[in-house]
Amino acid sequence: MGYYASKVQLSYEFSRAIPTDNQKYIDYQNFRSKFGNDGNTLVLGIEATNFFKKDVFNAVTNLNKQIKNVDGVKAVLSAPEALILLKDSNNHFVPTRVFDSVYNNQLRIDSAVAIFKNQPFYNGVLYNTNTNAYLFAITVDSAIINSKQRSSLINKIKLPVDNFAKATGLQTHFSGLPFIRTEVGELIKKEMNWFLIGSLLLSALTLLIFFRSFGAMLISLAVVVIGVVFSLGTIVLLGYKITLLIALIPPLIVVIGVPNCIYFLNKYHTSYLADGDKKKALVNMIGRMGIVTLFCNIAAAVGFAVFAFTSSDLLKEFGIVSGINIMALFFISLIFIPAVLSYLPAPKPREVKYLTNKFLENVLAKIEYITFNNAKAVIIITLIITGVAIAGCFKIRSEGFIVDDLPKSDKIYTDLKWFEQNFDGVMPLEILIDTKKKKGLQKIKALEKIDSFSTYIANKPQTARPLSFVEGLKFAKQAFYDNDSLSYNVPSGTDFAFMVDYLKENKDSVKKESSLTKLITGFVDSNMQLARVSINMKDIGSKELPLFLDSLKAVADNTFDTAAYKVTFTGASVTFLEGTSYIINGLKESIFWAFVCIAICMLFLFRSFKILLCSLIPNIIPLVITAGVMGWAGISLKPSTVLVFSVALGIVIDVTIRFLINYKQELPLYKHDVHQTLSSTIKHTGISIIYTSLVLIAGFVIFCFSSFGGTKALGWLTSFTLVVGTLTNLILLPVIMRLFAKKPLIQDIRQK
């Protein structure tokens, strides 16, 4: 498994969260098959009042050249690359550069700037007159940006930009969907690696403090490490790659593996302390904890395996890998721990000293007192807290942003907001307008409708000015009328009659500069039936985006007769946020089914509906309270925060099963006396439950120091849920059991 684990690879795709039969996925794939990838453009921004001063502009031109020469950069659209169309004697347009490559005097630059700013096409696209902001649109190879070489490509582009900033003293801004995905992905990967190591070390330190034994600590870490190696090997053997969700499986293995080790070792030490016989203690450990751990791992595995039944590839892979390896972890624990302990010497007195910890004994004694003497108070307090939590649940928002987890001071976030302020955003939105017949785009009426719809979109605060082949025709009309800016509008039928020769492809000029041809052919299909309207927009979030698109659809339906046109909204931004929403909804649905499946397992294990009810209440309440805290604290549901419930459910149900099975095993020893059995269970199981919770909290609390909101929330919310789950299982569960522990319940248990 270690050999295969060494071959694990990262997945750089982001659209796999959506099922392949989802209409948005189908629309996006159809768009890509016709027009290529839209999510492969980086944007560089420069804000400068002296942008067109000789020395600065020469530096800008040199920067533009250096970026174009980077291997993997396909094209750069910027002020130094700006073109105008000039008419030649053969009735053809000749694309001509506005700016020279080098300038020796300011007058020539000023003359070129006047020509450049006389072209409405570039206003709002390459520069913002009001803020002196200038934009470079850098198109990169989609094959590279979706591979592990993407970080290297980004760094190669950033190198000349950083040198330019140092030389000129100007501040630069980077953004664009591929840039954000790359930078955020690298930051999360580095942070998660460090936090996983830190979590393991902190858990190891806590285990060492509790057990006072390097052997016990190393056994626990070995089980966890073997489990992680098995999980990575499983990913490769199944032909999967590490995705956003699968990357969480190693921490999940730690979460499930550490309790396994603590309960096995605790039972071993308890048995040895009672009899002083190492072999008997090992047999007792396997006999008592084997069945307990089996059902705990089955419940946890089922809870995560339900993801495999969703239609999302991301969730399906996560469910399969986690389900398989949680069960593998049971066999690793069951075989490895007793085998190693059999070779180690018998526990020393200091190694079992934690079993007689006076502080914990006092804590458990107080818990026992509360359980038997203040049951009504426990129930009333629980109902009040749960009621407040339920009110908070109604305040939870389900919303995701592309830069969701970044702190507001992070440069990636501030740069994105800079582009939104100066260029109305950089997130790609694509609109396809199908005329439903060949050469339908050659009709003036169709052009006017597209222009009218584009004008409406341009006036929306969420979007920048759209680009389409109609903008190219307006650009050509201005050129035909000697670059008069007043002529930048949709050509009429008469205009086309005069311009027809100029619009024909000039092979010589196309070889020299093909920007106009690319602009037109890149926005229409070969049949002149399908038009593409490309828009940059702000990161408005998964909640506002559907409402915004619905408003655009309403205007589109009024503009385009649905009998003659079909309008489709797609693009990387739509797919990305749709994927986020789908993951959130899929996780919520899977948690529900996990509860159902776990309930069935519990029913099969205890064969009693009353015991089932007793077991579910202490598990539901911690999740409800956590959801309430999220609502009151204003924490949105997103993939990272929804996973808190899955992870916490797996841990808390584990505690419940161990408590109930220990109770069931000890009930005959106390002649079915519920009071005495509960008292014994609280004392004996309570120690291992508290130790397990403290170790896991120590492992998760380190994530609270993350700079990412989602990772930070995962850390403290999971720790909080563990604390609540520990309290409900040690206090509320015995109270509920005593309420139901009348003759029928005792008879049920005796029969089983």
CB 31 within 8 A of CB 432: yes
Q: Up-side HSE of residue 538: CA atoms within 13 Å toward CB?
A: 18
What is the rounded CA–CA span in Å between residue 235 and residue 4?
9
Q: Is there a contact between 483 and 119 (Cβ–Cβ < 8 Å)?
A: yes
Say which CATH superfamily domain 212-356 falls into: Multidrug efflux transporter AcrB transmembrane domain (1.20.1640.10)
**Greatest CA separation for the chain:** 109
pLDDT at 679: 87
Angle subtended at Cα 94 by Cα 89 and Cα 95, rounded to the nearest 5 degrees: 165
pLDDT digits (tens, 9 = 90+) for 657-667: 878 888 887 88
List the structure tokens of 489.
């509008």
CA atoms of 150 and 211, how far apart (whole Å): 46
Q: Which DSSP letter does residue 123 get?
A: B
Distance, in Å, from the CA atom of 233 to the CA atom of 332, rounded to the nearest integer, reads 15
570 forms beta bridges with 430
Which of 503, 464, 448 is closest to 480 using CA atoms?
Answer: 503
Residue 564: CB partners within 8 Å, gap ≥ 6? 435, 436
3-class secondary structure, 228? helix
Q: What is the pLDDT of residue 456?
A: 95
DSSP 635: P
Residues 6+ apart with CB under 8 A from 482: none
d(CA 125, CA 130): 13
DSSP state of 229: H
Residue range 357-394+572-752 in CATH 3.50.50.60: no
Task: Please tell me the distance from the alpha carbon of residue 433 to that of residue 441, in angstroms, as a whole number.
Answer: 10
Exposure class string for 521-552: b at 16+ Cβ within 10 A, else e = eebbbeebbbbbbbbbbbbbbbeebeebeeeb
Residue tagged 């089983």 (tokens): 752
Please give the single-letter amino acid code of residue 26: I
The answer to whether the Cα torsion of 287, 291, 296, 301 is positive or negative is positive
Below-50 pLDDT ranges, the chain: 509-515, 743-752
Closest CA to 313 of 647, 576, 593, 583: 583
pLDDT at 510: 44
Taking the C-alpha atoms of residue 446 and residue 560, their distance in angstroms, rounded to an integer, is: 9
Contact residues for 457 (Cβ-Cβ < 8 A; gap 6+) = 463, 466, 533, 535, 552
Measured between alpha carbons, how far apart are the two ends of the chain, in Å?
40
Domains of the chain, by residue range, sit at 212-356, 357-394+572-752
| Residue 678: φ, ψ to 5° | -65, -40
- Strand 83-87 and strand 73-77: pairing? unpaired
Q: Distances from the Cα of 447 to the Cαs of 142, 264, 661, in angstroms?
A: 31, 74, 73
- Asked whether this chain's domains 212-356 and 357-394+572-752 adopt the same fold, the reply is yes
Q: Which of 368, 389, 375, 288 is closest to 730 using CA atoms?
A: 368
For residue 157, the tally of other CB atoms under 10 A from its CB is: 21
Please tell me the distance from the alpha carbon of residue 700 to that of residue 251, in angstroms, as a whole number. 9
Token representation of residue 716: 């403290």
For residue 279, what is the enclosing H or E element? helix 278-305
d(CA 81, CA 464): 21
Burial of 609 (0-12, 13-18, 19+ CB in 10 A): exposed
d(CA 516, CA 518) in angstroms, rounded, equals 5
Beta strands in 40-120 (DSSP E): 41-47, 73-77, 83-87, 93-97
